[in-house]
Amino acid sequence: MAVENSSSLSQDQVLDLHLENNGVATDKLINHPVGLFVLFFTEMWERFSYYGMRALLVLFLVSEASKGGWNWTRPEALSLYAWYTGLVYLTPILGGLIADKLTGYRKAVILGALIMTLGHAAMAMEGINMNFFYLGLVLMMAGNGLFKPNISSMVGQLYPAISDKKDAAYTIFYMGINSGAFLGILMCGYVGEKIGWHWGFGLAGIFMFFGMLQFYFGQKIFGVIGSALNTVTKKVESKVEELPAKVVSERLLVIFVLSIFTIFFWMVFEQAGGSMTIFAKDYTLRTLDGSAGTIFKWADAALTIFPLLAVSVVLFGLAKQIFAKYPATIIFTALSFVIIWGLAIWKVQKEFTAVGTEVPASWFGILNSFFIVSLAPFFSKLWETKFNPSGPVKFGLGLVFVGLGFAGLAYGGKDIAAGASVAQVSMFWLIFAYFFHTVGELCVSPVGLSYVSKLAPAKLVGLMFGVWFTCTAIGNWLAGKTGGLIDKISTEYSISTFFLIFTIIPIVAGLLLFALNPLLKKWMNGVH
């Protein structure tokens, strides 16, 4: 009897049989395969590099030439941001096809990581020739296309085709994504704004290189998963491929519908790297004196040290499980942690010895990742309880929550006069927005990855992840383009009106998805 169709076994037993059938060790860490955590750290360093660079992109472009920037206008910078963040999520559809037809997932991940490392190196040389900057962006887009969909596919293939543990697994994986984003924004943003832009760009590339090495030396931990073309499909997914054509088509339609709604989500959520960064730079009170400055220094130190400590504990747990068999993987990962700990201690010491306190504009970007890392364990457990709503309901909740975050920004900016280029709004409203955006993201992004994996036929998983990221690309592109309207709308109306638009759109979309839930549940044909 196929593993996926066995009803007499527990979830853990089914998982163990699935792993054995694929030549994967059944060793566990917090009740999940240890291979999940190798992917966790690989993705963590890739997201470190991506978000570390992205945190600097708009700030670098609009910064004065005297400060090493290019002195672009806000619309110009946000237009480039739109094209880059859009294309970086569009290339995965090609990367998914290449992996499905030519390379397999593992080779695609390694090649993608190498190309992105070269991209960061090129960006670090922007001071020599500005064309290096554009070359770096192109390499980043190409490398991400090979890396992003295929590492996500490998996470899904660690589990049986239909498994409730996938939602929890992708949530854990998402903790890795956001641990990397947190550290990347924190470190690259700080180094870029305080030391020099090219130093921030270069730092991002160093950890991308470490991520590639630790994955390369740990490949055997995955057995046949991702090793060759359709290996898993032929070996264990044959029963899934025998589903009636109507069921397959309806499930694919669900992926399509959810993908469309992700466009609305990312269009508003990704204001974080664009208009919200502008709001942090020009409209937020960031110079702190006296006790406020001291409180911030201690809070910043805690936000720097404790999340890094938590991820280090995960690494220690992984090391105990796999060091004997895969020492190189642990050694390279540990070396990267030694470097990041050194940077963290240096940053904290530098801030405590500084005379004044000015919060970097990029700093607010860490809040999303901090809240993700803090809340993800709760959501991971929540999705394994009886309170586990359907995917469409989770998506709808995510859209509503992200809208509520922008409602806070709209309220916080209500006293900013039309046409004002600077203001001193309390940072509370940015913190408020990032919290609700994070809750919304946890209801959409990791759940979406899980549902693509569960609903798509095994032979189309890579392609479907490509479709998913294509819609993410459209959302990111729209985020940059609509964010570029901040000057126009805030001049003609108010900045509060600008953020109110991003309040209404996702809430309406979320309510529509609630209405479509019964139909989408029917089309999922038993997948929860």
| Distance in angstroms (rounded) separating the CA atoms of residues 176 and 427 | 27
Q: Which residues contact 131 (CB under 8 A, 6 or more apart)?
A: none
Instruction: Give yes or no for a contact between 388 and 172, defined as CB atoms under 8 angstroms apart.
Output: no
Of 426, 430, 293, the C-alpha closest to 359 is 293
Q: How far apart are CA 72 and CA 515, in angstroms?
A: 44
Please tell me the predicted confidence (pLDDT) of residue 422: 84
Best CA proximity match to 327, nearest among 428, 236, 239, 214: 214
Q: Which residue type, as a one-letter code, is found at position 443?
A: C
The residue written with tokens 């000057």 in the block is 487
Say how far apart CA 261 and CA 404 lie, in whole Å.
17
pLDDT of residue 405: 96
Give residue 494's pLDDT: 93
Query: Is position 1 within any domain?
Result: no
The tens place of each residue's pLDDT in the chain, 528 residues long, gives 444 444 566 777 788 888 888 888 788 888 889 999 999 999 999 999 988 888 889 899 988 888 888 999 988 998 998 899 888 888 887 887 888 888 889 999 999 999 999 999 999 898 888 899 999 999 999 999 899 888 988 888 888 876 667 777 877 887 888 889 889 998 998 999 889 888 998 998 899 999 999 999 988 899 888 886 544 444 444 444 567 888 888 889 999 999 999 999 999 999 988 899 999 988 999 988 888 899 999 999 998 898 889 889 999 999 998 998 889 999 999 999 999 999 999 999 998 988 888 888 888 988 888 887 788 778 877 777 777 788 899 999 999 999 999 999 999 999 999 988 888 899 999 999 999 999 999 888 878 877 887 888 877 876 787 788 788 889 999 999 999 999 899 999 999 999 999 999 999 999 999 999 999 989 988 776
Three-state secondary structure call for residue 357: strand
Q: Three-state SS for 332?
A: helix
pLDDT at position 237: 43
Q: Is residue 20 part of a domain?
A: no
Cβ–Cβ contacts within 10 Å for residue 527, how many? 16
* Structural contact between residues 161 and 477, judged by C-beta atoms closer than 8 angstroms: no
DSSP secondary structure, 358-372, as one string: E--GGGGHHHHHHHH
Is residue 11 included in any domain, yes or no? no
- Smallest CA-to-CA distance from 372 within 307, 437, 438, 417 is with 438
Give the pair of three-digit tokens for residue 374.
Answer: 């803090």
pTM: 0.79
Separation between Cα atoms, residue 528 and residue 512, nearest integer Å: 20
User: What is the reported pLDDT for 162?
Assistant: 67
Residue 263 makes CB contacts below 8 A (sequence gap 6+) with 471, 472, 474, 475, 478
Residue 17 lies in a domain: no
In a domain, residue 79? The reply is: yes
Distance (Å, whole) CA 125 – CA 520: 49
Helices (H), 359-460: 365-382, 391-412, 428-455
Here the CATH number for the domain that contains residue 356 is 1.20.1250.20
Residue 320 resides in a domain = yes
Give the count of domains, the chain: 1
Cα 499 from chain centre: 23
Cβ(432)–Cβ(151) under 8 Å? no
The pLDDT assigned to 438 comes to: 92
DSSP class of residue 4 equals G
Residue 507 is part of which domain span?
26-523
The answer to whether position 68 is within a domain reads yes
pLDDT of the residue at 238 = 40
Q: Is the dihedral of CA 261, 163, 311, 212 positive or negative?
A: negative
The continuous run of DSSP H or E covering 250 comes out as: helix 245-269
pLDDT of res. 491: 92
The pairing of strands 28-29 and 357-358 is: unpaired
